[in-house]
Amino acid sequence: MNYSELVKVMRRLALEAGDKIMEIYNSDEFEVKVKSDASPVTEADEAADALISAGLRAAFPDVALVTEEQADSHDVSAMTFLIVDPLDGTKEFINRRGDFTVNIALVEDGVPTRGVVYAPARGRMFYTDTTGASVEEMGPFHPDQPGETKAIKVSQPNNDALMVVASKSHRDQATDDYINKYAVKDMKSAGSSLKFCLVATGEADIYPRVGRTMEWDTAAGHAVLSGAGGQVVRFDDHTPLVYGKGGFANPFFIAYAPGVDLKEA
CA 195 → CA 109, 123, 137, 206, 246, distances in Å? 24, 15, 17, 9, 25
Pair (72, 98) in one structural domain: yes
Contacts (Cβ under 8 Å, ≥6 apart) of 247: none
Residue 107 · residue 219 · CB < 8 Å: yes
Pair (58, 135) in one structural domain: yes
Pair (147, 167) in one structural domain: no
Pair (142, 196) in one structural domain: no
pLDDT at res. 228: 98
pLDDT at res. 64: 92
Residue 17 · residue 86 · CB < 8 Å: yes
Pair (14, 138) in one structural domain: yes
CATH code at position 35? 3.30.540.10
Pair (28, 134) in one structural domain: yes
pLDDT at res. 42: 84
pLDDT at res. 107: 97
- Which residue ranges make up the annotated binding site for Mg(2+)? 68, 85, 87-88, 217
pLDDT at res. 74: 58
In the chain, the number of structural domains is: 2
* Nearest-angstrom CA–CA distance, 189 and 168: 5
CATH code at position 199? 3.40.190.80
- Which residue ranges make up the annotated binding site for substrate? 68, 87-90, 217
Pair (179, 138) in one structural domain: no
Query: Which domain covers residue 7, as residue numbers?
Result: 3-151
- Mean pLDDT per block of 10 residues along the chain (265 residues) reads 96 98 91 75 91 97 88 68 94 90 97 98 97 96 95 98 87 90 94 94 97 95 98 98 93 98 94
pLDDT at res. 4: 97
How many Cα atoms occupy the beta-carbon half-sphere of 109 within 13 Å? 0
- Which residue ranges make up the annotated binding site? 68, 85, 87-90, 217
Pair (128, 192) in one structural domain: no
Alpha helix positions (H), the chain: 3-25, 43-59, 90-94, 173-179, 194-200, 215-227
pLDDT at res. 169: 67
CA-closest candidate to residue 37, choices 90, 78, 84? 90
